[in-house]
């Protein structure tokens, strides 16, 4: 019996350009590194312009194609400019990972700060819409198909007391994903979402939490630990590859079993 061929993961994105929002840290950083290792030209887009440039410089030093752009996903004009930068820099846009997000206040709904609510919705929900609004036409114009992955959360399927804005936004991202997927499947463009659970990122660092609270959170996971950004990045990257060619409008949890119990 012949041995099945194994894809060359170092060239699976050769000739493709990928835009990663929130690419300077956490899941976005892990994804940018993984895409570059797969041969993609990577645009690292982040509100933290200095951090984005540091990541892009790191990738270039390793011989990968990379560039950085400052991005405020709450501004349609900023998003449009970032997409244009990607096309101008590498000639086309084929892949996008909409990862930028913030945590927001933790307060009961009846006491929730209005400005805080609007800030979370502007970043976590509107930012994904603005991103797809400009990414999808650019991907279509490239004429080679493509894929988009939106980063939702486990809070796109369950709730968390005190986080009304975050939960609403992440549920909304799933809806945005399904709608865009239905619209663009016939154009050869796939749109999917991932729902990370509690991941050790700058938004959830153990040393910034009370130890007892952190341990209780870990205990809520059948896996017995929190996740790593690299574990989420692997799923994101899979959804961007042609190995996921029949996956459209799906929402995949990466949560160590958190929502299974």
> Is 184 one of the catalytic residues?
no
CA distance 205 to 202: 5
The radius of gyration of the chain from alpha carbons, rounded to an integer in Å, stands at 18
Question: Are 13 and 96 a contacting pair, CB within 8 Å?
Answer: no
DSSP one-letter string for 214-261: HHHHHHTSTTSS-B-HHHHHHHHHHHHSGGGTT--S-EEEESTTGGG-
- Cα angle at 104 between 101 and 105, to 5 degrees? 170
Annotated catalytic residue, options 112, 130, 134, 166? 166
DSSP character string of 54-95: HHHHHHHHTT--EEEEE--TT-HHHHHHHHHHHHHHHS---E
The answer to whether residues 202 and 26 touch, using CB atoms and an 8 Å cutoff, is yes
**How far are the Cα atoms of 78, 110, 117, 142, 226 from residue 163, in angstroms, in the given order?**
27, 11, 9, 39, 20
Active site residues: 166
């Amino acid at each position: 019996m012949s041995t099945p061929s194994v894809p060359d993961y170092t060239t699976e994105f050769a000739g493709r350009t990928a835009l990663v929002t929130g690419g300077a840290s956490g899941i976005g950083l892990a994804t940018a590194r993984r895409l570059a290792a797969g041969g993609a030209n990577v645009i690292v887009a982040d509100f933290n312009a200095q951090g984005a440039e540091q990541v892009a410089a790191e990738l270039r030093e390793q011989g990968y194609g990379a560039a950085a752009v400052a991005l405020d996903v709450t501004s349609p004009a900023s998003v449009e400019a970032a997409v244009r930068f990607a096309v101008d820099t590498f000639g086309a846009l084929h892949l996008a990972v909409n990862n930028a997000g913030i945590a927001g206040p933790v307060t009961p709904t009846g006491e929730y700060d209005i400005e805080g609510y609007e800030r979370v919705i502007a970043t976590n929900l509107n930012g994904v819409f603005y991103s797809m609004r400009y990414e999808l036409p650019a991907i279509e114009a490239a004429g080679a198909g493509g894929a988009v992955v939106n980063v939702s959360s486990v809070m796109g399927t369950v709730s968390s007391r005190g986080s009304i804005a975050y939960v609403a936004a992440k549920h909304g991202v799933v809806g945005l994903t399904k709608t865009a997927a239905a619209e663009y499947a016939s154009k050869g463009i796939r749109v999917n979402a991932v729902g990370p659970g509690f991941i050790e990122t700058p938004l959830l660092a153990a040393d910034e939490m009370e130890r007892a609270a952190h341990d209780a959170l870990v205990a809520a996971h059948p896996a017995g630990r929190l996740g790593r950004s690299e574990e989420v990045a692997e799923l994101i990257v899979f959804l961007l590859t042609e190995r996921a060619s029949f996956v459209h409008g799906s929402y995949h949890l990466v949560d160590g079993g958190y929502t299974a119990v």
